[in-house]
Amino acid sequence: MNQFVDRAYDVTSQLFGPDSEIPWWAWLLVVVALLWRLLIPERQTAQDRDAALAATMVRSGNGGSGKKRDRKRKK
């Protein structure tokens, strides 16, 4: 068992340690590549933006909740 732990420690130190042949910035690129979808949101297409805008206009044009209008009337 001790032999497996020593082997794992050696492999880990060769990958991440100060004597590693892989530079620190290469590991940073690996992390960024893995988390890319979380860090950078996907761009919307023009059709998606237009559909969202149209849905917002339809909701606000049909009376909506009227919260802004109610606040203005109270003042």
- Output the six-digit token pair for 75: 């003042």
pTM for the full predicted model: 0.40
- What is the percent of the chain with per-residue pLDDT over 70, rounded to a whole number? 80
pLDDT at residue 63 above 60? no
Query: CA geometry: angle at 23 spanning 26 and 27, to 5°?
Result: 30
Whole-number pLDDT of residue 15? 86
Whole-number pLDDT of residue 48? 84
Give start and end residues of each alpha helix (H) in 1-75: 2-16, 24-34, 36-39, 46-61, 67-74
